[in-house]
Amino acid sequence: MPLREGEVYGEITEASLKYLLERQGVKRADRQSMFAVDDEDMPGVAKLPADWSFFMVSGETVQRLARGIGDTNKLYMDNAYAANSIWGRVLLPPASLCWTQTVNGASEGFPGCHTIWRGVEWELEQPLFAGELFKSRTYLTDARIIDSDFAGGEAAAATQDYETETFDGAERYIGSYRTFWHRFSRGKAKEKSKYAGQERHVWADDELEEVWAEYDEFNLKNRRGAEPLWWEDVHEGDEVPHIIKGPLTLTSKIAFEMWAGAFGWFVGHELARKLWRKKPNLPIRNEENVPEPPVAIHWTNERCEKYLGMPGAYEAGFERMNWFTQLLMSWMGDKGMIRKVSLQFRGFHWQGDAVRLFATVTGKRVEDGRRLVDLDIWTMSHPRGDRTTEGKAVVQLPGRDDDRPVWTPADLEAARRA
């Protein structure tokens, strides 16, 4: 889309804000370029109704996603195991609700400006199953211009907030997903150079051995699986066994980003040419001066240094969000269910960083017959020791005196009546 009157490529302007706010509150089913598959590329495929966006993940694709996260939970990876669990079939990782969104702050508004994810909130009323059809619509809830030291000072940045409502094929409510984004001029951020003093860590072999030992001691051993975690056995102040991720590499990031295959911005050759024709203001230029999508900035240290003045490439918030579901699912076991998560992304994980994820129980309650546990959750970069995420979670656990699953077909009936 060409620039409209008053817009300046790569700058935060009142004109761009005005055009963006024309879409505020409009529920949108059309997937924007970051998430779309062009109908012209799929001749003969039946077109679905345009008033909803439809989303489905096969069991095989769930396994690719789980491997991309590094989470080999049997509820995702083992068809027979999942069939014999309380769920009866393969689950999607709960944070997969994020891919029902149709548009976000990275895919529209303020042409040529960079996007950083500020935070996310999501809640689930029903579990997500492999092979199930979901339908969703996303709408802009707010956008405004703000001051930002990181982006260069007064009126130098903008925020964009979105909400996605997701239903199953019978229009039963599945959950809501809300995202909060920060937009700014790449050039001004580079001039400000907020992170100029930080350097990427170069690992010694003995340091790596300590990380590998931590994987063995925590990530691989602390998987409750079929053994229930009873609500009565959880107490305020309990610490969830932490997990570690990284050190982050280009390969680990690509493994996560490509779980769904080539679509949206993740295309090359003829399809990339078609994308640039449709979205001439979208790409950045790589080291060879060839257009690439903005998400490519996550993949090389040189691009982050060149465009943003950052010390290196950084991991995507989608990946961090899925790590938290691994932390909680490993602790709860098969009979627990994540109901709500909220995260504030306070810092970056540079390429080469390791990341530890933590959680502590802050309370427990019974609400509408559900035995709920409240937790504080956060991340710490390693070895820099920065607290990079602040968040909260609510999970549902089974009770010793009432061993019914946390989710049953009766929940479907309640959702239908609602």
- pLDDT tens-digit map of 367-410: 988 999 999 999 999 999 999 999 999 999 999 987 666 766 55
Beta pairing class for 134-148 and 53-55: antiparallel
Residue 147's pLDDT is what?
86
The contacts of residue 49 (CB under 8 Å, 6+ apart) are none
- Report which secondary-structure segment, H or E, holds 211: helix 205-214
DSSP single-letter state for residue 343: E
Confidence of residue 109 (pLDDT cuts 50, 70, 90): very high
**pLDDT surpasses 90 at 141:** yes
Residue 35's pLDDT is what?
59
Backbone angles phi, psi at 387, to 5 degrees: -85, 105
Burial annotation 334-371 (CB, 10 A radius, 16+ → b, else e): bbbbbbbbbbebebbbbbbbbbbbbbebeebeeeeebb
Q: Give the tokens for residue 126.
A: 């029903």
d(CA 416, CA 339): 18
Cβ atoms within 10 Å of 175's Cβ, excluding its own: 22
* Residue given tokens 């909400």 in the structure block: 163
Mean pLDDT, residues 349-355: 95
Helix-strand-coil percent breakdown of the chain, rounded to 5? 30, 30, 40
**pLDDT surpasses 80 at 263:** no
Q: Which residue has the higher pLDDT, 203 or 153?
A: 203
Residue 42's pLDDT is what?
47
Residue 416's pLDDT is what?
45
d(CA 55, CA 174): 13
Of 371, 418, 380, 376, the closest CA to residue 398 belongs to 371
Between the alpha carbon of residue 106 and those of residues 42, 74, 145, 293, the distances in Å are 25, 33, 16, 11
Residue 133's pLDDT is what?
93
Average pLDDT for the chain: 88
Task: Give percent above pLDDT 90 in the chain.
Answer: 66
Residue 40's pLDDT is what?
56
Q: Are 184 and 118 in contact (CB under 8 A)?
A: no
Strand partners, 226: none
pTM over 0.85: yes
Q: Which CATH topology does 198-248+315-418 take?
A: Thiol Ester Dehydrase; Chain A (3.10.129)
Q: What is the pLDDT of residues 40-87, one digit of tens each?
A: 554 544 455 578 999 899 999 999 999 999 999 999 999 999 999 999
Task: Give percent above pLDDT 70 in the chain.
Answer: 90
d(CA 211, CA 242): 13
Of 318, 325, 310, 189, the closest CA to residue 264 belongs to 318
Residue 403's pLDDT is what?
62
Residue 332's pLDDT is what?
96
Q: Would you tell me the crossing angle of helices 250-257 and 59-69 to the nearest 10 degrees?
A: 160
**pLDDT surpasses 50 at 418:** no
The contacts of residue 212 (CB under 8 Å, 6+ apart) are none
Q: What angle do CA 300, 302, 304 make, to 5 degrees?
A: 80
Confidence of residue 303 (pLDDT cuts 50, 70, 90): confident
Of 104, 114, 151, the closest CA to residue 294 belongs to 114
Q: Give the tokens for residue 10.
A: 């790569």
CA 288 to chain centre: 30
Q: Are 312 and 162 in contact (CB under 8 A)?
A: no
- Report which secondary-structure segment, H or E, holds 256: helix 250-257
Q: Which residue has the higher pLDDT, 35 or 228?
A: 228
**pLDDT surpasses 50 at 22:** yes
The domain locations on the chain are 198-248+315-418
Q: What angle do CA 155, 157, 161 make, to 5 degrees?
A: 125
**pLDDT surpasses 70 at 267:** yes
d(CA 99, CA 251): 22
Residue 210's pLDDT is what?
97
